A and B are shown apart, each in its own frame.
Chain A
Amino acid sequence: MNKSKRDYFDYLFAGIGSVLIAYVLYPILTLFGEQIVDIGSLLKAFRDEVVLEALRNTLFTSLISTFLALILGVPLGYLLAKREFKGKALVQGIVDLPVVIPHSVVGIMLLLAFSRRILDSYTGIIMVMLFVSVSFVVNSSRDGFLAVDPKLEYVARSLGASKIRVFFTVSLPIAFHSIATGGVMAWARAVSEVGAIMVVAYYPKTAQVVVMEYFNNYGLAASRPIAVILMGLSLGAFALLRALIGRLSKSA
């Protein structure tokens, strides 16, 4: 009797959850579905030098910004996880700040702060991407390091390892899964940023800017193939990286 009651409960929640899943999947499937019917425009987009250049730019800038986010974010994540210090709550708040600032405002702030030096340049694009994505790396590496039992680090030191050696041989490998997941999230966030990039660096054109430009100038049908390519790349890379991380942390 209890079992059937619980089943109703589970069905109800599963039903509500399905609405969300359907809502996320439906536009994605529609996008790809419409493109399959109109395969010609997709092939044309692959021959469009503007589009290809933009894709290269997106890939290049997002990879550099993710790399920088990891280099700058992991040490901070470690300190937030492992140390108590004055102003820790404030630092944590600042780390979360980029997530809540509207994207156009991010662009305007960066321009005000760094002026024309970053206007319309790769540097500008990378700085925008770093600003909007670094929270993911800090927070997920912090969570990863929190899960590393301090006793493991104590023992490693008693066995003769310096602090830096303990970090690279014990803390980092154990937190690797979390950090890598944060890196993937940061990369995905960088690739999806458009508002702030349009303010700071419309040129050199990135794929996400080209999607907006084609939409504004030529309409929905013209922007769709580029959207599909961007989407396909993002999803592909996302799935690949997650699989890779899963395998690496299992064997690690």
Chain B
Amino acid sequence: MLELQSVYRSWKDFSLNDVSFKVYEGDYFIVLGPSGAGKTLLLEIIAGIFFPYRGRIIWKGKDITFLEPEKRGFAYVPQNYALFPHMTVYENIAYGLEIRKLSEDKISNVVKNIASVLNIEHLLERRPSTLSGGEAQRVAIARGLAIGSKFLLLDEPFANLDPSTTSRLILEMKVWKRELGLTVIHVTHSFEEALLLGDRVGVMLDGRMSQVGSVKEVFSNPRDENIASFLGFENIIEGMANGELLEANGVRIVLPTRYFGRVRIAVRSEDIILSEEPFRSSLRNMLEATVVDVMDIGGLFKVTLDVGGLTLKALVTRSSAVEIGIQPGKKLFAGFKATAVHVFEA
């Protein structure tokens, strides 16, 4: 297990502030955050390239806070892959093995082994400058794993790759992780990668680890409105709660359970359903709304609504938009379940 305890560090424009979390053996841990949140710095601190100003890092029960990176044995793969340009692919993968003074035969065995797992045997004699992005990524991962590391640190591994390469690599990554028994920390800004790969996720905002938990837990129950808005909860409303009812600007919204006092709520735009007629279903919330704006975002329509002075955003399919005849000025009903409302006490 890797544990960070209240790690502080600043470097250039980035800083980490009181970052604490645990990564368990065999975890695929996603560090999710917007650019500039300090994700790369976090990874570099775990790799030992920078030391924290305060706080501790514990690895398998040992304090490694100030251990030199060469003594940690973590497989670190930076965003640009950082393949050594003056060496062949083979020499890149063999680099860490030569430091360990293995025999030529042993090195060659290890390199060929890992190359066959990652499907890059045909690239071994090539120079890094001749590789595609996806190939370079595989080589960089192979180089890190060749030293026998079971702990992989990936910095935005798919950021520079085209979508089809990315989706192939995501599938393969799952296989590699299982076959090689890896523990992975994967830094990204992509929800898709988090949802597809992550066992657990830590949301990083402004240098803080704002929330850590299973992917399902974090995505369905963001802990505060900043996390909610980062995770795509577009409707954040503030009001006074009185039991199961929230009053905001004269609009009444039913909450999932009882709250009192000033609270903020968040509702995902895709959880809001639109209809011309009043709903006859079990939806607890039904609000009269006026369409303010409609935006085509590629197959889906993002509809901006005015609800008694509050702004709500809803996501609807093209067919339902046409069926209802959504256009600015149109009056309709917006509905959502009480359980789609996420409440944050202020």
Q: Mark A residues whose CB is within 8 Å of B.
A: 149, 151-152, 154-162, 165, 169-170, 173-174, 252
Q: Answer whether residue B267 sits at the interface, using C-beta atoms and an 8 A cutoff.
A: no
Complex contact B49–A158 (CB within 8 A): yes
Give me the 10 closest cross-chain CB pairs, A-B, nearest first: A159-B96, A151-B82, A158-B76, A157-B69, A160-B99, A151-B78, A155-B82, A154-B49, A160-B70, A158-B69
Complex contact A159–B95 (CB within 8 A): yes
Complex contact B68–A159 (CB within 8 A): no
Known: A154-B44, A160-B73, A160-B100. 10 other contacts (CB 8 A): A151-B80, A151-B82, A157-B68, A158-B72, A159-B96, A160-B99, A161-B70, A169-B95, A173-B86, A252-B86
B74 contact set on A, CB distance < 8 A? 158
A169 contact set on B, CB distance < 8 A? 95
24 interchain pairs (CB within 8 A)? A149-B82, A151-B78, A151-B80, A151-B82, A152-B84, A152-B85, A154-B69, A155-B143, A158-B48, A158-B49, A158-B70, A158-B75, A159-B96, A159-B144, A159-B147, A160-B73, A160-B96, A160-B99, A160-B100, A161-B70, A161-B96, A165-B99, A169-B95, A252-B86
Q: Answer whether residue B312 sits at the interface, using C-beta atoms and an 8 A cutoff.
A: no
A152 contact set on B, CB distance < 8 A? 82, 84-85
B68 contact set on A, CB distance < 8 A? 157, 162
Q: A35 CA to B49 CA in the complex, in Å?
A: 61
B201 contact set on A, CB distance < 8 A? none
Q: Answer whether residue B305 sits at the interface, using C-beta atoms and an 8 A cutoff.
A: no
Beta-carbon nearest neighbor of A165 in chain B: B99
Chain B nearest CB, measured from A128 CB (Å): 36
Complex contact B76–A155 (CB within 8 A): yes
Q: A210 CA to B47 CA in the complex, in Å?
A: 60
Complex contact B82–A154 (CB within 8 A): yes
Complex contact A159–B82 (CB within 8 A): no
Query: Which residues 323-343 of B sit at the A interface, judged by CB distance below 8 A?
Result: none
The interface on chain B, measured as residues whose beta carbon lies within 8 A of the other chain's beta carbons, has a size of 27
B 129-161 to A, binary, CB cutoff 8 A, 1 in contact else 0 = 000000000001001100100000000000000
Chain B nearest CB, measured from A61 CB (Å): 33
B 160-193 to A, binary, CB cutoff 8 A, 1 in contact else 0 = 0000000000000000000000000000000000
Q: A165 CA to B84 CA in the complex, in Å?
A: 14
Chain B nearest CB, measured from A53 CB (Å): 42
Q: Mark B residues whose CB is within 8 Å of A.
A: 44, 47-49, 68-70, 72-78, 80, 82, 84-86, 95-96, 99-100, 140, 143-144, 147
A155 contact set on B, CB distance < 8 A? 76-78, 82, 140, 143-144
B48 contact set on A, CB distance < 8 A? 157-158
- Of A149, A151, A162, which contacts B70 at CB under 8 A? A162
A173 contact set on B, CB distance < 8 A? 86
A170 contact set on B, CB distance < 8 A? 84
Beta-carbon nearest neighbor of A169 in chain B: B95
Q: A161 CA to B68 CA in the complex, in Å?
A: 10
Complex contact A157–B84 (CB within 8 A): no
Complex contact A158–B144 (CB within 8 A): yes
Chain B nearest CB, measured from A114 CB (Å): 41
A252 contact set on B, CB distance < 8 A? 86
Complex contact A154–B70 (CB within 8 A): no
A157 contact set on B, CB distance < 8 A? 48-49, 68-70
Chain B nearest CB, measured from A4 CB (Å): 38
Chain B nearest CB, measured from A67 CB (Å): 24
Chain B nearest CB, measured from A84 CB (Å): 10
Beta-carbon nearest neighbor of B71 in chain A: A160
A162 contact set on B, CB distance < 8 A? 68, 70
Q: A145 CA to B82 CA in the complex, in Å?
A: 15
Q: A149 CA to B82 CA in the complex, in Å?
A: 8
Complex contact A160–B147 (CB within 8 A): yes
Chain B nearest CB, measured from A144 CB (Å): 13
A160 contact set on B, CB distance < 8 A? 70, 73, 96, 99-100, 147
Chain B nearest CB, measured from A73 CB (Å): 22
Chain B nearest CB, measured from A179 CB (Å): 14
Complex contact A154–B78 (CB within 8 A): yes
Q: A165 CA to B96 CA in the complex, in Å?
A: 11
Q: A154 CA to B82 CA in the complex, in Å?
A: 9
Q: Which of A149, A151, A170, A173 has the most CB of B within 10 A?
A: A151
A154 contact set on B, CB distance < 8 A? 44, 47, 49, 69, 76, 78, 82
Q: A149 CA to B76 CA in the complex, in Å?
A: 15
Chain A nearest CB, measured from B196 CB (Å): 26
B47 contact set on A, CB distance < 8 A? 154, 158
Beta-carbon nearest neighbor of A176 in chain B: B86
B73 contact set on A, CB distance < 8 A? 160
Q: A151 CA to B147 CA in the complex, in Å?
A: 18
Beta-carbon nearest neighbor of A156 in chain B: B95
Complex contact A159–B99 (CB within 8 A): yes
Chain A nearest CB, measured from B124 CB (Å): 17
B86 contact set on A, CB distance < 8 A? 173-174, 252
Chain A nearest CB, measured from B144 CB (Å): 7
Q: A170 CA to B95 CA in the complex, in Å?
A: 10
